Amino acid sequence: MLRDFSHPSLAEACRLASARISPQEAVARFDAITSEATAPGFTFDMGRRAIARCAAESSGSSGFVSELFSEAVSYYASRDLPSYVGATGRIQNSTESIQLKELLRRVTKIKVESAGSPRSATREWRGYIARVLRALQGGAQ
């Protein structure tokens, strides 16, 4: 995960997130940034959704990183939760599943914020992402 999320194209997208541009322009620029990069498309798909949401909310680079990791958590929750819905002692219905996913997104954003301000300079990005991952795993900063 560190390798994928610390890709230099995502650092560049983080810098882009601070520009006051429309979601459409943000996505177009993101697509240009990542068009020739060699990284898992899945990570860039999450980045694309994150930059669009960030531009719509004008939430800057901090918002971009929060959205990026919230997208990842939401994906894994969506993938794994269906096997838990309805089982005895587990999530009882789809409403509870949706509520849990929203809670996971909120907690993720809080944990990402606890890692400090984004360091989007390419040479600092990997270390920053490592700090975010430690925060999400419950480790020390």
Q: Is residue 141 part of a domain?
A: no
List C-alpha distances in Å: 115 to 7, 118, 141: 18, 8, 7
Q: What are phi and psi of 116, to 5 degrees?
A: 95, 180
36 has a pLDDT exceeding 90? no
As given in the structure block, the two tokens for residue 58 are: 């004008």
Q: Is residue 11 part of a domain?
A: yes
User: Residue 102 is part of which domain span?
Assistant: 2-136
Higher per-residue pLDDT: 94 or 51: 51
Q: Is residue 88 part of a domain?
A: yes
pLDDT in tens, 108-140: 999 999 999 998 898 999 999 999 999 999 865
Q: Is residue 57 part of a domain?
A: yes
Q: Looking at residue 35, what DSSP letter applies?
A: T
CA–CA separation, 99 and 97 (whole Å): 5
- What is the distance of C-alpha 62 from the center of its chain? 10
Structural domain count of the chain: 1
